[in-house]
Amino acid sequence: MRLDRGKRKSVWAQRMSLNKKIIQRRISSISNWLILLLFLCFLLLGCSQTDDVVKVENNESHRVENDESEATKEPIDKQIESEVKAFEPIFQGETSKKKIALTFDDGPHPIHTSEVLQLLNQYDAKATFFMLGSQVEEYPHIAAQVAASGHEIGNHTWSHKKLTTLSEKEAIDEISLGVMAIEDAIGYQPTHFRPPFGERNANVDQLVGMPSILWTIDTRDWDTRNPESIFQIVKNNANNGQIVLMHDIYDTTVEALDLILKYLTLEGYQFVTISELIK
C-alpha cells in the first residue's frame, strides 16, 4: 500500500491545487456577475431619472426589472458568502443543547490513547482525535481501535508543521500525507481537519478544502501538565456547544479527563463527536 503513496500524493497535490483554483474562479465569476448586475441597476436607475415620460410609461416594467435584479442580487451575495464561509474555521457547535466535543490532538500515543479510550467508554462518551499521519503510521492499530470504538478521527497533518510558514507544495504534502496515513489505517478518509497550533490563513483553508476545526476551551494541558488545572479550566468554561482542546499524549491529561468526565456528566452534558456537534 505504501509503495504507491508517491503516486497518490501527486494525485492529491493536483486535486488540492485544482480545488483552490476552482474556488477562486467561482468566487471571481460570481463577483463579476455581481458587478454586472450592479452596473445594470445603475443604468436602469439612471434612465428612470433622466426620462420622465419613459418613467411614467414604463414605470411598471422598470419596477419589475429592478425587483428582478434585487431578487437575483441577494442569492448571489449569499453565494459568495457561503463560498467564503465554507472554509471559515469552526470554533464551536450549536448552543441549544447540552453537548460538548472533547478533542485530542497529536496522537495516537502507544499508551495514553488507549487509556483515554477506556475512560470515554466508561462514561459512554464520544470524542474526536486529530491525529498526526506520522504517529498513525507508527501505531495504525491504535488509530483503527479509536475508529472502531465509534470516535471520530480528524487530520492534524503529517508532522505538525506550521502550515502558514510552508510553501504551497510543502503544505499540500503535510495535509495529504496525513489524510493518506489515516485512510491506510482506518479504511476511509477523515472528514475534519485541525491545523497544527491552530495556525491557518485563507490560502491554507482553500488547500484543505474543508473548515478547520478550532476550539473554544484551551486546557493548556501540554503546558501545565497539571490534572487539577486542566480540570478547572474545563469546569470554569464549560457551556453548550463548546469544543475542548486536549492532547492524548500525556498521562496528566488522562488523569484530568477522569475528573472532567465525572463532573460534566453530573452537570448533564453529553459528549459528542465534532460531526455531531456541528451538524
Which residues are catalytic, by number?
105, 247
Query: Which residues have a Cβ under 8 Å from the Cβ of 207 and sit 6 or more positions away?
Result: 16, 17, 19, 20, 168, 171, 172, 175
What is the nearest approach in angstroms of Zn ion to the Cβ of residue 196?
A: 5
What is the nearest approach in angstroms of Zn ion to the Cβ of residue 191?
A: 18
**Dist. CA 253–CA 255, nearest whole Å:** 5
- How many helices and strands in the chain, by DSSP H and E? 12, 6
Binders of Zn ion among residues 196 to 215 (CB under 5 A) are: 196
Residue 60 backbone class (left: φ over 0; alpha: ψ -120 to 50; beta: rest): alpha
Binders of Zn ion among residues 33 to 52 (CB under 5 A) are: none
What is the nearest approach in angstroms of Zn ion to the Cβ of residue 127?
A: 15
- Segment interacting with Zn ion (CB under 5 A) among 68-76, 88-96, 194-202, 261-269: 194-202
Nearest residue to the partner Zn ion, using Cβ = 105
Q: For residue 246, which of 106, 109, 90, 117 has the smallest C-alpha distance? A: 106
Residue (129 or 271) nearer to Zn ion, CB: 129
Residue (20 or 160) nearer to Zn ion, CB: 160
What is the nearest approach in angstroms of Zn ion to the Cβ of residue 254?
A: 17
**Dist. CA 36–CA 247, nearest whole Å:** 50
Do 48 and 55 form a contact (C-beta atoms < 8 A)? yes
Residue (99 or 257) nearer to Zn ion, CB: 257
For 82, the grid coordinates are 457561503
**Dist. CA 214–CA 243, nearest whole Å:** 8
Residue (154 or 241) nearer to Zn ion, CB: 154
Residue (20 or 157) nearer to Zn ion, CB: 157
Q: Does 221 bind Zn ion (CB under 5 A)?
A: no
What is the nearest approach in angstroms of Zn ion to the Cβ of residue 24?
A: 28
Q: For residue 208, which of 189, 193, 188, 220 has the smallest C-alpha distance? A: 193
Residue (222 or 263) nearer to Zn ion, CB: 222
For 23, the grid coordinates are 474556488
What is the nearest approach in angstroms of Zn ion to the Cβ of residue 194?
A: 7
Binders of Zn ion among residues 90 to 109 (CB under 5 A) are: 105-106
What is the secondary structure of 142-178 as a DSSP string? HHHHHHHTT-EEEE--SS---GGGS-HHHHHHHHHHH
Do 130 and 247 form a contact (C-beta atoms < 8 A)? no
How many residues in the shown chain lie near Zn ion by CB under 5 A?
3
Q: Which residues are near Zn ion by CB under 5 A?
A: 105-106, 196
